[in-house]
Amino acid sequence: MREVYIIGTGIHPWTGFSEKVFSDFATVAVDGALKDANIEWKKIQSIMAGIFIYGGNAGHLTGQYLESIFGETGVPVVNVYNACATGSAAIRMAYNSVAAGETDTALAFGADVSPQGFLTAKSDNAVQDRDVIRWKMTAMPNPVYWALECRKRMAKYGTTEEDLALVKVLMSEYGSRNPDARFKKVYTVDEVLKSVYVCDPLRLFEICPVSTGAAAVVITTDKELISKANKPVKINATTMGSSMYGDPTIRISALSCPAVPEAPMLSESYSASRQAYEKSGIGPENIDILELPDNSSWHYLVYLETCGFCKEGEADKMLRDGQTKIGAKLPVNPSGGFSSHGEALSAQAIWQVIECANQLRGRCGERQVKNPKVAMAQTYGLMGNSGTTIVTI
């Protein structure tokens, strides 16, 4: 396998619902990535595109629609969907194509226009679609699942409402410094605790909304392009994990979970992160920056444990002691996280990798971590999809 580098990144800043189409956002991100890489469109030899699930036939052929804008060159185009881990899958496929020698330079991108309200079922077929069943039987949006797990955590480890609020406070501080973030307001613990419950114990400011945005990366093994790039970033591992039998997590779309745990919580993310550690030879103790999927304040805490950065039940203390702040041992979500951006389904995992790359390249201004060498992005999606990417400079 050949060494692969990120040489260009591009983002369309995150925003709310828009009347524009997904390709409007994708164009901005891809154009930015090409300019950052200092290459022309015709240099792209393969395209891995995150599907925009709400876009009908056009959204399912995002790569071809992008080609119709930038130019149709006959290169391989693959459209991929792995729920909220779609971006991770696109990066992994682009990486594998380049590392294996199929192509030298590839583009991975995702663009998403959020629906208004919760992410609901994509079909009406309750016979084959478990997501339809959970909506028809219980009308449980995603935050209900997170709240149920959070209650379990509070009972088992003593997590408090103040702990949950502290996550939002810290994320809002970083988000206020990020020009690409959707939310710029800095919150106090008191303001967070006064926000309304969405699903007890999770409050409005402790849950990320759905959002609109786009992100793109250009990766290559071409030595000439790498030598000309502005601080290229090496991809050491990019992995996908799926769920394991016996996972005690109340998985979104399911209506039950095992009574007796036989696998780790969030086992798809446990698997993806362990694969990444093994393939890269880099363990959690070596990570300088971590971007994790804080869809809610509960996620921020549990993912520190799931990915091996502390033992079960210890994340609350890490947070309270300031160990996850910029300037501490493990800066977590210096981007402001999903809390400051929201979910843009097919783009968010790519944006996380871009944040890692930009931190390593020293491009993050007021929220820049000092002299980082190793960064890790972790995201997860519906029905047991998870991706981990580790990058170094």
* Per-residue pLDDT tens over the stretch 46-83: 999 999 999 999 999 999 999 999 999 999 999 999 99
Residues 63 and 150 in one domain: no
Please check whether residue 91 lies inside any domain of the structure: yes
Residues 139 and 272 in one domain: yes
Please check whether residue 86 lies inside any domain of the structure: yes
Number of domains in the chain: 2
| pLDDT band, residue 122 (cuts 50/70/90) | confident
| pLDDT band, residue 169 (cuts 50/70/90) | very high
Residues 30 and 110 in one domain: yes
Residues 109 and 242 in one domain: no
| pLDDT band, residue 256 (cuts 50/70/90) | confident
pLDDT above 90 for 257: no
Residues 95 and 136 in one domain: no
Please check whether residue 163 lies inside any domain of the structure: yes
pLDDT above 90 for 119: no
Residues 227 and 189 in one domain: no
Residues 82 and 173 in one domain: no
> Which pLDDT does position 211 carry in this prediction?
96
Question: Read out DSSP for 107-157?
Answer: EEEEEE-PPSSS---S---TTT-HHHHHHHHH---HHHHHHHHHHHHHHHH
By percentage, how much of the chain surpasses pLDDT 90?
90
Q: What is the pTM of this model?
A: 0.96
Residues in the chain: 393
> Which pLDDT does position 115 carry in this prediction?
86
Please check whether residue 59 lies inside any domain of the structure: yes
Residue 285 carries which DSSP code?
Answer: G
Please check whether residue 144 lies inside any domain of the structure: yes
Residues 106 and 194 in one domain: no
Residues 299 and 228 in one domain: no
> Which pLDDT does position 171 carry in this prediction?
98
Strands (E) across the chain are located at 5-15, 46-50, 77-80, 105-112, 197-199, 202-203, 212-220, 233-242, 289-291, 374-381, 385-392
CA 349 to the chain's CA centroid: 3
Range of the domain at 193: 130-208+235-392
Residues 111 and 241 in one domain: no
Domain containing residue 199: CATH number: 3.40.47.10
Please check whether residue 122 lies inside any domain of the structure: no
Residues 141 and 80 in one domain: no
Q: Which of 352, 92, 331, 378 is nearest to 235 (CA)?
A: 92
| pLDDT band, residue 255 (cuts 50/70/90) | confident
pLDDT (mean) for 311-338:
98
C-alpha span between 181 and 175 (Å, rounded): 6
pLDDT above 90 for 172: yes
pLDDT above 90 for 218: yes
> Which pLDDT does position 315 carry in this prediction?
98
SS3 category, 362: coil
Residues 220 and 301 in one domain: no
| pLDDT band, residue 120 (cuts 50/70/90) | confident
Please check whether residue 28 lies inside any domain of the structure: yes
Please check whether residue 125 lies inside any domain of the structure: no
